[in-house]
Amino acid sequence: MTNLILIPILPMMPFFFVPLVLKLFGAKLGRNNIVGAAILYDPALVETGNNVVLGGFCIIKCSLINKKKITLKKVKIGDGATVGANSLLEAGIELGENSIIAPGAYVPPFTIIPKNELWGGNPAKFIKRIK
């Protein structure tokens, strides 16, 4: 319930307050992260490394509802990774170090993205290696 209350408030907050508020709700954020008006459902299940960028209005969901079953899985984002604006990350995703999710991408549940890769599209697919 508290997550739904935060959704309309976060875009109106100064950007430097957003990580503090997300940490209050249990998100495990590393150092030097840039968090746009990101929307985190179940923030207690989100872990980021250091120097991560969460683009504006990206959505990170840690829950899946399938028929009569609810599944909760962590979303882990490695050091130096970037999540593009307006992208959607589902439950159970692991984003490797220095990887990039292109803006507007949809990353399906339980996807593991290795380090130094660019992924994009709907559903997200490997595009290229990053040096």
Residue 14: is the preceding peptide bond cis (ω within 30°)? no
Mean pLDDT of the region 7-11: 56
Give the pLDDT band of residue 125 (cuts 50, 70, 90): very high
- Summarised one tens digit per residue, pLDDT across range 67-97 is 889 999 999 999 999 999 999 999 999 999 9
Please give the model's pTM, rounded to 2 decimal places. 0.85
Residue 21 has pLDDT above 50, yes or no: yes
Give the Cα separation of 79 and 29 in Å (integer). 10
What domain range is 16 assigned to?
Answer: 2-129
User: Number of structural domains, the chain?
Assistant: 1
Q: Give the model's confidence band at 13: pLDDT under 50 very low, under 70 low, under 90 confident, else very high.
A: low
Report the first-to-last Cα separation within the chain, whole angstroms.
42
Mean pLDDT (whole number) for 21-49: 85
**What amino acid occupies position 20?**
L
> What pLDDT, on the 0 to 100 scale, is given for residue 81?
98
What's the order of all strands across the beta sheet hosting 124-129? 34-35, 53-54, 82-83, 100-101, 117-121, 124-129
pLDDT band at 15 (very low <50, low <70, confident <90, very high): low
Give the domain CATH number at 86: 2.160.10.10
Tell me the C-alpha distance between 83 and 95, whole Å. Answer: 9
What pLDDT is recorded for position 11? 60
